[in-house]
């Protein structure tokens, strides 16, 4: 399964692509940042981001797209641009019939490090270790996109199933999976509510 992660942003939109196979470890495929120029008008910046994301999806033909769920921050202009970029990623995926999943930064941090409040450098190091990279992915938007793709692969019901997933998880990731499953059961998920 090919998973394309998107860390949405209007100036820098991180894109990370990994492969999660039946009996393979997670493998790195590609990482990049789609950029738009701040001096351009908003409509042209959005078009640049959309075209860049579309080109990535066409180039890598992902089976799933994992996008960071936008949440309210103190700077409304930042949230607006981030939300617009996330919407463009969803649109590009929908046009191609690719399933989309939204994950919060906390979910990605828990999935990868076992700590929902992990610092950026911790996440970059874990992404580097999990994907067996020779150096930290840069810029941070690129590392975040890879983290979102990894989160999607490792989540309960993700690309790696059952025992296959278990043998590739770190102790922290197993703990996150167990906690997620308990939370889902306590909410009644899967009980035919």
Looking at 7, 19, 124, 144, which residue is catalytic?
A: 7
Which residues pair with residue 129 across a beta bridge?
A: none
Say what the pTM is: 0.80
In a domain, 104, yes or no: yes
pLDDT tens string for the chain (193 positions)? 999 999 999 999 999 999 998 655 899 999 999 999 999 999 999 999 999 999 999 999 999 999 999 876 666 767 888 999 999 999 999 999 999 999 999 999 998 888 888 898 999 999 999 999 999 988 888 999 999 999 999 876 555 444 444 444 555 555 555 665 565 565 554 433 3
Which residues lie closer than 8 Å to 4 by C-beta, 6 or more apart?
Answer: 15, 16, 17, 56, 57, 60, 62, 64, 65, 66, 149
In a domain, 134, yes or no: yes
In a domain, 192, yes or no: no
Q: Is 7 annotated in some ligand binding site?
A: yes
User: How many domains would you assign to the chain?
Assistant: 1
In a domain, 158, yes or no: yes
141 counts as catalytic: yes
Domain that holds residue 137: 2-186
Q: Is 43 annotated in some ligand binding site?
A: no
Q: Is 166 annotated in some ligand binding site?
A: no
Looking at 19, 107, 124, 141, which residue is catalytic?
A: 141
Element housing 16 (H / E): strand 12-19
In a domain, 9, yes or no: yes
In a domain, 191, yes or no: no
Backbone Cα Rg of the chain: 16
Looking at 68, 107, 124, 144, which residue is catalytic?
A: 68
Given a contact cutoff of 8 angstroms between Cβ atoms, the answer to whether 10 and 81 are in contact is yes
Element housing 33 (H / E): strand 27-35
CATH number of the domain encompassing residue 16: 3.30.420.10
Report helix, strand or coil for 114. coil
Which residues lie closer than 8 Å to 177 by C-beta, 6 or more apart?
Answer: 154, 155, 156, 165, 169
7 counts as catalytic: yes
């Amino acid at each position: 399964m090919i998973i394309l992660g998107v860390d949405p942003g209007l100036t820098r939109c991180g894109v990370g692509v990994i492969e999660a196979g039946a009996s393979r470890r997670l493998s790195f495929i590609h990482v990049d940042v789609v950029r738009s120029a701040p001096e351009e008008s908003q409509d042209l910046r959005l078009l640049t981001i959309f075209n860049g994301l579309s080109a990535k999806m066409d180039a890598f033909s992902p089976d799933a797209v994992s996008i960071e769920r936008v949440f309210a921050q103190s700077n409304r202009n930042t949230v607006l641009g981030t939300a617009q970029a996330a919407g463009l990623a969803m649109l590009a995926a929908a046009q191609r019939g690719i399933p989309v999943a939204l994950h919060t930064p906390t979910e990605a941090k828990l999935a990868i490090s076992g700590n929902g409040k992990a610092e950026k450098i911790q996440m970059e190091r874990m992404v580097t270790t999990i994907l067996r990279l020779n150096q930290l992915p840069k810029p941070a938007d690129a590392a975040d996109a890879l983290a979102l793709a990894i989160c999607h692969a490792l989540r309960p019901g993700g690309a790696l199933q059952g025992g296959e997933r278990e043998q590739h998880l770190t102790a922290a990731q197993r703990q996150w999976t167990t906690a997620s499953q308990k939370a889902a059961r306590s909410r009644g998920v899967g009980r035919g509510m």
